[in-house]
Amino acid sequence: MAIDFTLSQSQRELQAGARAFAAQVLRKVLPTIAPFHKPEERFYAIRPFYDAMVDAGFVKALLPTEFGGTALSIVDFAVAAEELAAADINVPTTLLGTGLGLQPLLRYGTPEQKQKFLPDFIENGSRLAAFAFTEVTGGANYDCPDPKAGVQTFARREGNEWVINGQKHYTTNGTGWDGNGAHLFSVVCRTDPALPPAESLAVIVVPGNTPGIKVAGILDTVGHRATISPRIHFENVRVPVDHILGKPGDGMEIVEAAFSWTAALIGAACVGVMRSAFDTALHFSQNDKRSGSVPVIEYQNVGYMLADIKMRIEAARYLTWKSCHQFETTGGRSRELAIITKVFCSELCVQVVYDSMRLVGIDSYTDMYPLAGLMQDALCFPLYDGGNMGVRRRQLHALFRSKDYDSMASAEARG
CATH code: domain of residue 393 = 1.20.140.10
Is the residue at 314 inside a domain? yes
Share of the chain above pLDDT 70, in %: 99
Residue 410: inside a domain:
no
- Over residues 116-134, the pLDDT tens digits come to 999 999 999 999 999 999 9
Question: Distance (Å, rounded) from C-alpha 25 to C-alpha 44?
Answer: 16
- DSSP conformation class of 166: E
Whether residue 355 lies in the annotated active site = no
Q: What is the mean pLDDT of residues 196-224?
A: 97
> What is the DSSP annotation of 310-377?
HHHHHHHHHHHHHHHHHHHHTTT---HHHHHHHHHHHHHHHHHHHHHHHHH-GGGGSTTSSHHHHHHH
Please tell me the distance from the alpha carbon of residue 267 to that of residue 192, in angstroms, as a whole number. Answer: 36
Digit-coded pLDDT (tens) for 338-387: 999 999 999 999 999 999 999 999 999 999 999 999 999 999 999 999 99
Query: What number of residues does the chain have?
Result: 415
Q: Are 230 and 350 within one domain?
A: no
For residue 10, give the 3-state DSSP assignment. helix
Q: Among 248, 270, 302, give the residue marking a domain's end.
A: 248
pLDDT band at 48 (very low <50, low <70, confident <90, very high): very high
User: 232 in a domain, yes or no?
Assistant: yes
Show Cβ contacts of residue 397 under 8 Å, excluding neighbours closer than 6 positions: none
pLDDT tens digit sequence for 162-204: 999 999 999 999 999 999 999 999 999 999 999 999 999 999 9
CATH assignment of the domain containing 53: 1.10.540.10
With cut-offs at 50, 70 and 90, classify the pLDDT of residue 334. Answer: confident
What is the distance between the alpha carbons of residues 314 and 51, in angstroms, rounded to a whole number?
31
Distance CA 262, CA 267 (A): 9
pLDDT category of residue 1 using cuts at 50, 70 and 90: very low
DSSP 3-state assignment of 67?
Answer: helix
Domain count, the chain: 3
The CATH number for 213's domain is: 2.40.110.10
Same domain for 171 and 286, yes or no, is no
The pLDDT assigned to 333 comes to 86
Name the catalytic one among 76, 88, 355, 385. 385
265/369 same-domain check: yes
Is 276 a member of any domain? yes
Q: Which of 79, 101, 123 is the last residue of a domain?
A: 123
pLDDT class for 412, splitting at 50, 70, 90? confident
Would you state the pLDDT for residue 411? 85
CB 114 within 8 A of CB 104: no
Instruction: Give the pLDDT score at 2.
Output: 54
The DSSP code for 290 is T
Same domain (yes/no): 97, 138: no
Its domain, for residue 187, covers: 129-248
Q: Does residue 5 have a pLDDT over 90?
A: no
Whole-angstrom Cα distance, residue 328 to residue 325? 5
Averaged pLDDT of the chain: 96
Last residue of a domain, one of 74, 94, 123: 123
The whole-number pLDDT of residue 413 equals: 77
pLDDT value at 415 more than 70: no
Q: Is residue 139 part of a domain?
A: yes
The answer to whether residues 260 and 358 belong to one domain is: yes
Q: Based on the domain organization, do 276 and 393 belong to the same domain?
A: yes
